[in-house]
Amino acid sequence: MKNLIIASTSTVHGSDPLAYLLDELSIFYKDTEEILFIPYARPGGITHDAYTTAIGKAFAKINKTVRGIHEFENPAEAIADAKAIFTGGGNTFLLVSQLYVYQVIQPLREAIFNGTPYLGTSAGSNICGLTMQTTNDMPIIYPPSFKTLGVIPFNINPHYLDPIEGSTHMGETRETRIKEFHKFNSLPVVGIREGSWIRVKGDQTTLEGPHSARIFEQDKTPVELSTGSEIIFP
């Protein structure tokens, strides 16, 4: 049975990493003391070791230990043996590229469908969708494919931002970019605002956290989904 938390971000309002989610994660990861961390997205170019250390400090607050997947000789085996998994944020293009380089897309997908608890934030949330094409990141590296895990039947847009009333900014809004995506792609997109997350338990997918989400479907007017609601597409 699938068991996921798909969060917009790891850090809210300048707080410590995962601080807003720790109470939830202490329950989510209650059956394990060690979490396998996938640091491939490397926010700001941080090293795998430095990223893993930072995440380890966050999880120490709920008495969990963290090991980076880069510490294992065989990443696919590490995923298969893991009792819990977390993929952090950073650059989605880099993350997906590395998942293909180390040949762990399929092992990770299988682990999730086999019920291994999986937390994704930002880039780690993007990869839960069918493709990574609704990321906000710069294409700093070219992955072999935009196809990702497909453990949910829609795409994610994390860090979703609403237009600022009265702003004179002339660039595209997030909604405009997703409309551009829908000119060529039919996949639904869920825009998750900071501080909220999607909870997947088996076949049930629910929005949780303090904020509503923005739902986009091709050739339809975007709608708001209130927190606590189930996410269902025809």
Q: Which residues are marked as active site?
A: 122, 137, 159
Rounded to whole angstroms, the Cα distance separating 41 from 13 reads 21
Q: Are 132 and 120 in contact (CB under 8 A)?
A: no
Sorted by sequence, the CB contacts under 8 Å of residue 74 that are 6+ apart come out as none
Three-state secondary structure call for residue 85: strand
Distance of CA 194 to the CA centre of its chain: 12
Token couple for 74: 């065989």
The DSSP call for residue 21 is: G
Terminal C-alpha separation, the chain: 21
Q: Are 156 and 118 in contact (CB under 8 A)?
A: no
Rounded to whole angstroms, the Cα distance separating 94 from 103 reads 14
